[in-house]
Structure 1
Amino acid sequence: MEPQPKKMTLIQLTFIVAVNMMGSGIIMLPANMAQVGAISLLSWLVTAVGSMAIAYGFAQAGLFNDRPGGMSAYAEDAYGKSGYFLVFFLYFLSLAIGNVAIAISAVGYLAAFIPWVSSTPIATCIGVIALLWLTTTANFGGAEVTGRIGSVTVWGVIIPVGLLSIFGWFWFSPKTFAEAWNPHGMTLLQGMGSSIALTLWAFLGMESAAQNSSAVEDPKRNVPLACMFGTLGAAAIYILSTTVIQGIVPNAELAKSTGPFGLAYAQMFGPWAGSIIMALAVMACLGSLLGWQFTIAQTAKTAADERMFPTLFSKVNSMGAPITGMIVLGLVQTLLALSTISPTLNEQFQALVNLAVVTNVIPYIIALSALMVMMQSAGVPDNKYRVNVAIALVAMLYSLFAIYASGKDAVFGGMIATGIGFVLWGFLAPRFTSSTPRLATA
């Protein structure tokens, strides 16, 4: 009998969840939020509550349904095979879009050391494609290798962001923070709503533990724990770091920065510290991209195992890595990267982020709405049922608000993507229906 490929532990999976969330979103977040002002920090109150509710919902769903597929498997309990496919397809698409956006972020940080990569749109595209393929091939070693690398690269975020969250307060200026509070004269609701999409982008990844369930030891225990631990830790770091940095770096400088944490450390300790933080940020971006490449390949493999996707995505090497599927996904992401060759790269990056949020949140709603069916089938006591329903409702309402806050262009793109999904399902559906013809009745 051939030895079974080693699977990830709880600690490794928690690191994967953390790096998937923190590896790219938090690194650029202070600069993006500074364009609104420190008033945008209020959006954390909404996003932190919404994200924890989503994570709790997925943790509970994992207790009632430990089949491979994560969110797709949850959706199947309430919506059948069509629900499974739609959640898989939209989530799969959001990961492909998000990977290109993360790679663009990483190239932006690399430009501090290799200016050529940002000299022209074509040079930037070459850099993005190179990073996409570097992280694709790094996953050929299977789940164990990805878990080990992710547990190292996450420190590229934890060290600079964590230290700033704790010690940055010694450099915090209430005057600087007050001047940054509301430079555009927004109302509280406007300031809060304008940053919902950005803050949710930073939290995308909380579901990656569920998506990797088939590559994890004891998934019934470890998937819910990794989901909650990763999200709770990220929330604390996000809120502290994005608050303290607004009181260290003047708002106008922060809003224009392509490396906000590097800028903060440069002001605190000097240019040498800023360069070190920029290098750590590059490492963190690469680790985040590596984790997402593994997640999207595992998602495609699980769907293919369920006959929901071409069988080539099921083929694995001796270390359990679906190499053929990874290569196909690399080609798809290369095509997406080529579409970013434009003088308005920043606008396209923002469009990619917003579309990734919408196509990710729709599967959240579908999967969480299936929790009621799961609990009914499991015979959950009334008290627990009511608590879980209340928290799942908060999660779904927040998800709906996040779709609205992403803007009409992203919602339009999400509807097109959903329509394409149903077109594809029309060709897959005959695989799962009875071959016995139904008789027409008068």
Structure 2
Amino acid sequence: MRQDLGLGALIALVFSSMVGAGIFSLPQNMAQQAQVGAIALGWLITGVGMLALACVYQRLALRRPDLDGGIFTYARAGFGDFIGFNAAWGYWVCQLLANVSYVVVLFSALSYFTDRPGHTLLGEGNTPLAIGLGSVLVWGVHLLILKGVRRAALVNLVATLAKLIPLLVLCVALLLAFHLETFRLDVWGEQALGGVLEQVTSTMKVTLWVFIGIEGAVVVSARARRRQDVGRATLIALLGALALYVMVSLFALGVMSQPEVAALKNPSTAAILAQIVGPWGAWLINIGMVISVLGAFLSWTLLASEVPFIAAQSGLFPRWFSRLNQHGTPKHGLWATTLLVQLFLLVILLQESTYLALVNITTSAALVPYFFSAAYGLKLAWQDRARAQASAQDLLLGALASGYGLWLVYAAGVEYLLLATLLYVPGLLILHLARRQRGQTWGRAEALGGLILVCLAAWSAWRWAQGLLG
């Protein structure tokens, strides 16, 4: 494997993975569920949790440089093969669904330029034309990555710099048009939106969604020129993304009131900037969103192709996934990723699923790998503390990151967690094939875990068929 990703490429990979489509719809997504005070509290909780998680990943990257792949190899090191496999599978599924959501929202954004009343071409990104064009994009990115990860990373770096232009214009406009009186109207909104805790909880899936990708540098750590750049890239990209998210979601409520922002059509930032500077603001935001989503799609395809490759190297996936082509690209992992994204796109065409539905199920699928990788940081810090090899700071960071993971499980709610079990069950067959290749058998605890997962999935399928889920 070629180690040719420098600090700049790693920062771009993490930043582009996080800052995709979500930021352009962030004001409406947050205002729909919470007022200024609750949104600020939500970002405070998210900021502390994500900073703790980033610091845990930074320390683990240096403490355990042998664990390439990060997020799911940490789960395996801490809690065994069964948890490690499900973390890898859940993370891969999360990436696949994220890519599908990017295709949908990309062509939904392009509909601003193509659709007119009574003349729908791209609609919400789930029309036959949108899915057809999306399929062309999926296979075009596939061919680019086949030519080498470094080339794809350079393209992603250019896309990341390009997407910053409309976002910085938006931030400057928000600062200039900000009115404190508008911002202070009904700060807590308890009469219209419910209690503060309820409002804060309702923002959690949104805040998790916009931060998915924080682990990007950790996943490709084996390709980094310098191991210490992995942690640096994670922290730099996280702080930059957090500053943008807070400014866009909070300062927008100083330009328009919460009910007005909540009623906007997405991408809501287009309408907000258009109100400040005129119609060209909507054009700029929609063009920026297209560039941003293309960069995020490229980043997530890069990451998604690496996951089955690294999992196969560690024995969690079948050996078939562990092959590289002459350019150092995990070709079978990439082919599997592209084919599954294409399959999901066809399902979207038949079901007419929307971007927000994909966001909800994607964030739920991501909870398992995030929680267990954070919990491994806590476990390792506790073990090292007993041997006087870790500081109280390591222990505190592990506890904060793990507590944040549990909070996310609570905030996600039962409905989408149950739906996520339907995505986890097919992975048991992949685990069984990997075990057979290596002459391994299932342990009692693993068999029990698999049985529980199957039972939950069966119950979820029944509830879904009855119209009680989804």
> With structure 1 as the length reference, what TM-score do the two structures score?
0.88
> Is 1:389 aligned with 2:386?
no
Q: Distance in 1 between matches of 2:101 and 2:421?
A: 20
Check whether the contact 2:319–2:434 (CA below 8 A) recurs between aligned residues: no
Q: Which among 39, 42, 53 is matched to residue 41 of structure 1? A: 39
* Alignment CA distance shift 1:413-1:190 (3 Å): same
Report which stretch shifted further, 424-433 or 226-235: 424-433
Matches of 2:21 and 2:413, distance apart in 1: 21
Q: 2:19 aligns with which of 1, 15, 22?
A: 22
Provide the residue aligned with 1:170 in structure 2: 176
Count of residue correspondences: 429
CA 1:397–1:340 in 2, change beyond 3 Å: closer, same or farther? same
Deviations 1:323-376 (A, max 9, x none): 343222111111112222367633xx3332122112212112212222255447
Note the alpha carbon deviations across 1:222-259, whole angstroms, 9 max, x for none: 11111111112211111112111222245455333222
| 1:344-383 mapped onto 2 (5 Å cutoff) | 345-346=353-354, 349-375=355-381, 382=388
Of 228, 231, 240, 2:238 maps to: 231
Deviates more, 1:316-325 or 1:331-340: 316-325
Q: Distance in 1 between matches of 2:322 and 2:77?
A: 23
- In structure 2, relative to structure 1, the CA distance for the partners of 1:300 and 1:230 (3 Å cut) is same
Any idea what SS the aligned residue of 1:401 has? Answer: helix
Hey, which bits of structure 1, 4+ residues long, moved more than 6 A? 376-381
SS of the equivalent of 2:271 reads helix
Instruction: Say if 1:143 and 1:215, in contact at 8 Å, map to a contact too.
Output: no
Aligned equivalents of 1:327, 1:239: Cα separation in 2: 37
In the alignment, which residue of structure 1 is the partner of 2:65? 66
SS in 1 for 2:287: helix
CA distance in 2, matches of 1:355, 1:99: 13
| Equivalent-residue separation in structure 2 for 1:411 and 1:194 (angstroms) | 15
Please give the secondary structure, in 2, of the residue aligned with 1:321.
coil
Gaps of 5+ in 1: 436-442
Answer whether contact 1:153 1:283 (CA < 8 A) is retained.
Answer: yes
Calculate the TM-score normalised by the size of structure 2. Answer: 0.83
- 2:405 maps to which residue? 399
Given that residues 108 and 258 in structure 1 are in contact (C-alpha distance below 8 angstroms), is that contact kept between their aligned partners in structure 2? no
Residues in 2 aligned to 1:189 and 1:156: alpha-carbon distance in whole angstroms: 38
**Does the CA contact (< 8 Å) of 1:197 and 1:357 recur in 2?**
yes
Q: Displacement, 1:9?
A: 0.3
Deviations 1:257-283 (A, max 9, x none): 222222222222211232122111100
Provide the residue aligned with 1:222 in structure 2: 229
Are the structure 2 counterparts of residues 359 and 287 from structure 1 closer, same or farther at C-alpha, using a change threshold of 3 Å?
A: same
Alignment CA distance shift 1:131-1:251 (3 Å): farther
Q: 414-423 or 73-82: which moved more?
A: 414-423
Counterpart-to-counterpart distance in 2, 1:93 and 1:104 = 17
The superposition leaves residues 120-145 of structure 1 with CA deviations (integer Å, 9 ceiling, x where unpaired) of: 73333334333333333332232211
In the alignment, the residues of structure 2 paired with residue 285 and residue 143 of structure 1 have an alpha-carbon distance, to the nearest angstrom, of: 19
2:123 corresponds to:
118
Equivalent of residue 136 in structure 1, options 135, 139, 142: 142
The verdict on how the C-alpha distance between 1:130 and 1:87 changes in structure 2, with shifts beyond 3 A counting, is same
* TM-superposition CA deviations, 1:92-139 (whole Å, max 9, x none): 111111111122111111111232111773333334333333333332
Contact 2:205 2:363 in 1 (8 A): yes
Following superposition, the deviation at residue 379 of structure 1 comes to 7.5
Report the equivalent of 1:244: 251
Aligned AA for 1:151? Answer: L
Change (3 A) 1:368 1:251: closer
Give the distance between the partners of 1:203 and 1:369, measured in 2 at CA: 18
Partners of 1:33 and 1:304 in 2: CA distance:
39
Change (3 A) 1:20 1:38: same
Find the residue that maps to 1:48 and give its secondary structure: helix
Q: For residue 288 of structure 2, what is the amino acid of its counterpart?
A: L
Contact 1:6 1:144 (C-alpha < 8 Å) held by counterparts: no
Conserved 8 A contact 2:374-2:405: no
Structure 1 residues 329-344: aligned runs within 5 Å: 329-341=337-349
Q: Which residue of 2 aligns with 1:439?
A: none
Contact 1:354 1:407 in 2 (8 A): no
2:158 pairs with 1:161: no
| Structure 2 residue 223 is matched with structure 1 residue 210 | no
The letter for the 2-side match of 1:118 is: G
Partner of 1:94: 94
Paired residues of 1:72 and 1:84 also in contact (CA < 8 A): yes
- Are the equivalent residues in 2 in contact too, given 1:94–1:357 (CA < 8 A)? yes
CA distance in 1, matches of 2:162, 2:15: 12
Deviation at 1:83, TM superposition (A): 3.5
Q: What's the C-alpha RMSD, in Å, of the aligned pairs?
A: 2.6
Q: Distance in 2 between matches of 1:93 and 1:210?
A: 18
Report which stretch shifted further, 112-121 or 176-185: 176-185
Cα shift at 1:64: 1.4
Equivalent AA in structure 2 for residue 193 of structure 1: T
Q: Distance in 2 between matches of 1:195 and 1:384?
A: 34
The CA deviation string for residues 177-231 of structure 1, in whole angstroms up to 9 with x for no partner, is 3457538242211211111100110011111111111221122x11111111111
Q: Is the 8 A contact 1:37 1:184 kept in 2?
A: no
* Unaligned residue ranges in structure 2 (runs of 5+): 116-120, 442-470
CA distance in 2, matches of 1:308, 1:208: 20
- Deviation for aligned residue 1:151: 1.4
